[in-house]
Structures are given as structure tokens and as C-alpha cells.
Amino acid sequence: MPLIEYVDVDDKFIDELWEKVSECASFYSIGDGCSREHFRKVFFESDIVARLEGGFARAEIYDGFVELHVLVFGPSFFANAKAALQKFYDDSQKLFNGREIRCIIPARMKGFKMLAKHAGMAFDSQCSRLLSGIPILCNVFIWRPENV
């Protein structure tokens, strides 16, 4: 089973993670990481942050669903995606309370769409998200917990 360790978000954590993503120049850096201040804000406002094998996940809980955001730092995240998502859900069940998990992925990010599918998520719909004020076409993938 993939290691899951819940993270207490503090400035040291933000500094270390920002060092890894600040130069990536990808959709991630346009979205959550457009600036260190915004990166810090979204992590501090997350309902839960976890270190997973090969990356991190943070979740925002809304009425009816959980929006999941991931940072991937290696291929092991792909190999264990389904088990990691189930364990993340199982370990966080009191917070998630039966809600489906949504992951909103920019349409051009083929690797993250593949990761969502490896995790057992299914395409649901498309939407547009503003990333740094620029509308980006995105795909919405959903995952419903087993045994609910």
C-alpha cells in the first residue's frame, strides 16, 4: 500500500515545495503556482494535504464533492495511483463523508488525464477554468468511493 503521510502546512513546507515547482513553467505553475504567495494561499486554505509515494495531494471540500489537486514527482505515483486514491479516501473518510472526488485537468495535459484514468477516475464533462486570468479548457474526471 502506498505511503500516505498527512502534512502540517507551514512556511518551511511551502518553501521546500515551492523550490521544486517554481521553475516548472507548466499549467501547474500557471494555476496553483503562479506566484509563491498564491501557492502558499492555496495550500494553507486546503482542507487536507498529504504526501504520497511520488508526490503530494491536496483537497478542497465542497458541498457534494471533493476537488483533488496533485503534484507528481516521479513515475511511482502512476504505478500506485488507484491504490493511493482509495487509501487517501479511506484515511480521510470522516472529512470526505461519501463525496465524489473531482479532478479538473487542463485538456492539453495528457499525462494527468492518463494518471486520472490509472487512478480509476472517469471522464465526466468539460469546463473552463481561469488560470492567471486566461480561460483554459479543462476536463472533469470523477471518482466515487467504493463501498458507499
C-alpha cell at 141: 474526471
Average pLDDT over residues 105-128: 89
Mean of the per-residue pLDDT values of the chain: 83
Of residues 34 and 84, the one with the higher pLDDT is 84
Helix (H) or strand (E) holding 62: strand 55-62
Of residues 131 and 135, the one with the higher pLDDT is 135
Domain 4-143, CATH among 1.10.3720.10, 3.40.630.30, 3.40.1360.10, 3.40.50.11540: 3.40.630.30
C-alpha cell at 133: 486570468
58: left (phi over 0), alpha (psi -120 to 50) or beta: beta
* pLDDT tens digits, one per residue of 20-79: 887 765 545 445 556 788 889 989 999 999 988 888 889 999 998 999 988 887 777 777
Do residues 105 and 70 touch, judged by C-beta distance below 8 A?
no
Most confident of the ranges 9-18, 19-28, 78-87: 9-18
Of residues 22 and 128, the one with the higher pLDDT is 128
- Phi first, then psi: give them for residue 57, nearest 5 degrees: -135, 140
Q: Which of 141, 148, 28 minimizes the C-alpha distance to 89?
A: 148
In angstroms, the CA 75 to CA 90 distance is 23
**Boundaries of every domain in the chain:** 4-143
Percent of the chain whose predicted confidence (pLDDT) is above 90: 28
Give the pLDDT band of residue 11 (cuts 50, 70, 90).
very high
